[in-house]
Structure 1
């Protein structure tokens, strides 16, 4: 490899890949390949169009090969630049998309928080309503219990008084009346017990609810359509001269 001027490096190989000690000095037009003298002896003995490299390259600057290679290299440069621009554009697009999606995520968060606040208000209202409803029922039963208790205590106090200060007739009549009153009180108590319930308010949380199932972030990929492409006019080991020469 040698340098021309200050920037261009020449990478043209002078020696054969298969015979490193031999110089490339022949061109086989049958196989369209540059080769050395050893290659000619080993692989191209029956080829009819083997030219010295000096003769094969004599008019190279006027051949279709030069035009095709120049056109293909120019196209490759154009394609690679377009591809690089496309990748850079995709990077910018991803960055812009990230910013947009970040705003969307914040919007979803705000929406969810509002829904959670609304749910909290609804649950709190429902809780207060349930509490009020059952407190009313319990307080009603307490009033009934208190009324029965007051009557029983009054009867007991009256009985104690009659035992100490009343006549036997008064006590007897009172006791006979209390048998009925006691049965009535017991029936009332049984009714209260039958109607009484142990109220309890519970909170049921759904454990399997996952917020990440509500929204997702994913990648959508498509083929790039803005990159120019065309079929390369030259192919490996192709592109000899257009002129025919006799074999050496």
Structure 2
């Protein structure tokens, strides 16, 4: 996000932005902020002090630009291909598509839409399920360790009775047991690492969605929800697979 006031920039002036208007998607300086507050059309707009926005989240408020056409905004949704794109993409790639709509129209009410609510609910359910699976994996890991200790004790007791024979048997059993424990532990730790990573991603996505819902525009929220739909579908598939294997 630029650190200059957008309205002033359009007047070919330079002034430092101090506030952000979520409805206009504009950064405002103190003067433009005062103008914003007195104008009837903008009195009810959602405005936040830029200092209250974490630096890491500032880029989320930037107007979404097309990766292929950096000078163009992503203002359109092609329902035929389920993709957000700019007007240049529409002309070049979606000229024959029948279901193309403007994001601004579709995004009205996005913060209260079933898509947003369902997305947040899904995020919560995914996090809860991931945490449950992590706890179960930890329990399995502990049980594997306990089983190893129990078997070692049994081997030691048998060794005292059969001495030479059990010495050879002990080496074989310990070797096999160590390999089994190692394989199981590594597998579980890999799963737990993936789960923790996914949990972190889900939490970041949830925080991002909530932040954009609170401070971004409806079109920004709708765009973000649309872009992350497939990602959440993949997470749900992974969750279903892990739940089945528990």
Same fold (TM over 0.5): no
- Return the structure number with greater relative CO, CA threshold 8 A, min gap 6: 1
TM-score range, shorter chain: 0.3 to 0.5
TM-score by length of 2: 0.43
TM-score by length of 1: 0.43
- The structure with the greater share of residues assigned to helix is 2
